[in-house]
Amino acid sequence: MHEPMKGPPKDEYRRLLKHLANLKPDRPPDSDTLKYLVTSLPKLLANRNAGKIPQFGREPRKGSPGELSLRNRLWWLRCLPMANRTHLFLLSPEYPVYESPKSRLSIDLLGIFKNDRDEVAYTAVIELKWKSNNPLYALFEVARNAVLLVQSKLRVEGSWRERVEKAYPPDMFKGRIFSEITQEHIIGMVVGPFEWYDKYCRQKKVCIETARKLRRASSGIRFEFWTFPKGTQCSSAPPKFLPLTRFW
């Protein structure tokens, strides 16, 4: 049974998250660790005053080799067609969020998610993986970033005013680009290759159950797992990554 360490809750949260990152495909996650991480999610606090308002459309600079190539290919496309007449319009790569008091984190891709069934568009917080870590760890990463983003509503809306106009000209949109940035209008997406999910197939059930628990803990943020066409390689041409389909 998991024994909580002494010290600041944030340090404990990070320690357990790091431990989860190294979970092997054939090992079940510790139930007490998952419970602690789920119940800690609503307690995470954003630093709304850290840094200047970031620009949408800025060029990405950082990332591990595989995930960097993946992110750049998707970002180059800007608009991603998905299954079931759904589209994902990308706003920014490596969008920063700040955890109180001073931690800087980043969202791999931030976008607008819209299908023909819902009247509103969702703000999409995307965590990309290319065969690194595991889907359960990626789920908690995207959940943390989504919760911090909701708390940074004014900063995110301000990013549209500060956008790189070469990427997004002034007349590209009229009116609001976002729906309300609230828990009910956010979707957290883990996106990775088919082979990565297949490797961790034994974690499918716990990933789906944990996503449901995180939705309740976050007061309504949806969490889903998406993938590319089977056989897509990291070096594939950008169109080969389409369409994205929901996997779990």
CA dist., res. 57 & res. 90, Å (int): 9
pLDDT score, position 7? 35
Query: Is residue 219 a part of any domain in this protein?
Result: yes
Query: Is residue 121 a part of any domain in this protein?
Result: yes
The token duo for 163 is 């956008």
> Global pTM?
0.90
The token duo for 25 is 């495909």
* pLDDT by 10s per residue, the chain, length 248: 444 434 345 678 888 888 899 899 988 899 999 999 999 999 999 987 777 888 898 877 655 667 888 888 899 898 898 877 888 999 999 999 998 887 889 999 999 998 877 778 899 999 999 988 999 999 999 999 999 999 998 888 888 888 888 888 877 766 667 667 889 999 999 999 999 999 999 999 999 999 999 999 999 999 999 999 999 988 888 889 999 999 99
Query: Is residue 58 a part of any domain in this protein?
Result: no
Contact between residue 106 and residue 71 where contact means Cβ atoms under 8 Å apart:
no
Secondary structure (DSSP) of 215-229: HHHTTS-EEEEEEPP
Q: How many distinct structural domains can be found in the chain?
A: 1
The CA–CA distances, whole Å, from 83 to 101, 228, 232 equal 40, 11, 16
Query: Is residue 60 a part of any domain in this protein?
Result: no
Query: Is residue 4 a part of any domain in this protein?
Result: no
Host domain of residue 132: 9-53+66-246
Half-sphere exposure of 185 (CA within 13 A, CB side): 17
Q: What share of the chain is helix, strand, coil (3-state, %, to 5)?
A: 40, 20, 40
Query: Is residue 191 a part of any domain in this protein?
Result: yes
Query: Is residue 1 a part of any domain in this protein?
Result: no
pLDDT score, position 146? 97
Contact between residue 81 and residue 243 where contact means Cβ atoms under 8 Å apart:
yes
Query: Is residue 169 a part of any domain in this protein?
Result: yes
